[in-house]
Structure 1
Amino acid sequence: MSAGAADEAPAAPGTQRLDKWLWFARFIKTRTLAAELVSAGKVRVNKVRTDKPAQIVRAGDVLTLTINRRVQLVRVLGIAERRGPSAAARSLYEELTADGVVIKPHSPPPGVGRPPSEVSPAMRPVGSGRPTKKERREIDRLNGKAR
Structure 2
Amino acid sequence: MKPSNDDDSHVRLDKWLWASRWYKTRALAAEACNRNQVWLQGGPAKPSREPHVGDLLELRHERGRFTIEVLHLSKQRQSASVAQTLWRETPESLLAREQAADLRRLGPEPEHDRHGRPTKHDRRQLDRLRGHGEP
TM-score, normalised relative to structure 2 = 0.60
Match of 1:43 in 2: 38
More helix by share: 2
Alignment of 1:1-147 (within 5 A): 14-50=9-45, 52-68=46-62, 70-98=64-92
Identity value in percent: 32
Q: 1-side partners of 2:92 and 2:72: how far apart?
A: 21
TM-superposition CA deviations, 1:44-81 (whole Å, max 9, x none)? 1011122x210110110000000126110100000114
Distance 1:97 1:32, change over 3 A: same
Distance 1:70 1:76 in 2: 18
Question: How many pairs align?
Answer: 91
Aligned counterparts of 2:42 and 2:94: Cα–Cα separation in 1: 13
Name whichever structure is richer in strand by fraction: 1
Runs of 5+ in structure 2 lacking a partner? 1-6, 99-135
AA matched with 2:69: R
Distance in 2 (alpha carbons) for counterparts of 1:87 and 1:20: 18
Opposite residue 33 of structure 1, the aligned amino acid is L
Q: Which runs of 5+ in 1 are unaligned?
A: 1-11, 102-108, 110-147
